Structure 1
Amino acid sequence: MALRMGRPSMAEAVALGLVATGAVSIGIAAIVGAVGAGVEIFGSPVAVDLPVHDAPIVGLSDAAGIAAAEYTQSVVSVEALSGGARWLLFAEAALPALATVIVCAALWWLGLSLIRQRAFRRSMVPTLATGAFALVVAGMVGPFLGGIGRAAVVEELSAGADTSQFWTFLVSADLAPIGWGIALALVATAFEVGQRLQRETEGLI
Structure 2
Amino acid sequence: MEPTRSERADAFTVLLYGVGAAIVVGIGTWLRAAGVFRDDGIAWTVPIDEQPIAATVDSGEVAVEGIAQEAMIFANDVNAGAVAAIIGGIVLWALTALVVIGAVMLVASNFLRGRVFVRGNVWAFTIMGWMLSIAPLVIVALDNIARNGVLAAAGFGEGETVHPVEFWAAIPVVAGGIAVGLIAVAFRRGIRLQKETEGLV
Do they fold alike, i.e. is TM over 0.5? yes
Within 5 Å, give how 1:10-159 maps onto structure 2. 10-45=5-40, 46-52=42-48, 55-58=49-52, 72-158=69-155
Tell which has more relative contact order, 1 or 2 (C-alpha 8 A, sep 6+): 1
Alpha-carbon deviations, 1:131-177, whole Å to 9, x = none? Answer: 1111112211101110011111112222xxxx27x953455332221
| Count of equivalent residues | 184
The aligned residue for residue 181 of structure 2 is 185
Quote the offset at 1:51 in angstroms.
3.5
Higher strand share: 2
Distance 1:19 1:117 in 2: 15
- Aligned residue for 1:8, secondary structure, equals coil
Distance 1:141 1:121 in 2: 31
Check the 8 A contact 2:52/2:68 in 1, yes or no: no
Which is worse superposed, 80-89 or 183-192?
80-89
Distance 1:90 1:118 in 2: 38
Structure 1, unpaired ranges of 5+: 60-68
The aligned residue for residue 197 of structure 1 is 193
Question: Cα–Cα, structure 1 residues 168 and 181, in superposed 2: closer, same or farther, change >3 Å?
Answer: same
Structure 2, unpaired ranges of 5+: 54-65
- What's the TM-score, normalizing by structure 2? 0.80
Quote the offset at 1:70 in angstroms.
7.7
Quote the offset at 1:182 in angstroms.
0.9
- What's the TM-score, normalizing by structure 1? 0.79
Identity of counterpart residues, as a percentage? Answer: 24
Asked whether 1:8 is paired with 2:7, we answer no
- Aligned residue for 1:50, secondary structure, equals strand
Distance 1:44 1:136 in 2: 35
Distance 2:161 2:120 in 1: 41
